[in-house]
Amino acid sequence: MKIFDPKRHLPVGLDWEGMRSWLRWGHGVSAMSMFAFLPRYFRARDALYYHNVAADGTWVRVLNPERTIAPFRELMAGLPYFGMWCFLALMAIQLWRHYQYHTRDAMPIYLMRRLPDRWELTRRCWTVPVLACIAEILMFAVLTVLCFLIWWFATPVPCRPT
């Protein structure tokens, strides 16, 4: 017995394997936008140091404790969340496509409206896009926490903003 049968939550006749593959690619590509945080962070952290000539003539990186790194909120602004917003917009389009799927060819929307379960059409159109949006938001929450942990633990203590 399956706890969650995805075929019961898609428009009749829609391919679940193709949808699952598409969702995996979408989540993966949108998560890649979070990597935009790393170059921003490393540039901000490199600005905390200056180079000095040592006694033996080599260059040494020296921490300037008077400088502070940019706040985490500034480093995360814009681009890192672009992938999430694109994925959520694509899920809105997918929701519209699920409704359009029922109004083409043999017009199964009329049959769906006559079923004893009046929420059958809504469940088949909304479940997968809404669950995919929830999964996307949770994934980005976890990635944001990971980025914060990188920012917090990789930044020298005297250079963190207060």
What are the tens digits of pLDDT across the range 83-142? Answer: 999 999 999 999 998 888 877 766 667 777 777 887 888 888 899 999 999 999 999 999
- Higher-confidence position of 49 and 8: 49
Q: Which residues contact 20 (CB under 8 A, 6 or more apart)?
A: 6
CA distances 123 to 45, 84, 104, 131, Å, are 48, 24, 18, 11
The chain-wide mean pLDDT, for the chain, equals 88
Distance CA 123, CA 141 (A): 26
Mean pLDDT of 73-82: 88
Confidence at 57, pLDDT banded by 50, 70, 90: confident
Distance CA 35, CA 152 (A): 17
Q: Is the pLDDT of residue 18 over 80?
A: yes
Q: How high is the pLDDT of residue 80?
A: 84
pTM check: above 0.95: no
Nearest to 159 by CA among 94, 78, 72, 66: 66
Q: How high is the pLDDT of residue 137?
A: 96
- Higher-confidence position of 88 and 10: 88
Q: Which residues contact 77 (CB under 8 A, 6 or more apart)?
A: none
Q: How high is the pLDDT of residue 41?
A: 95
- Higher-confidence position of 46 and 78: 46
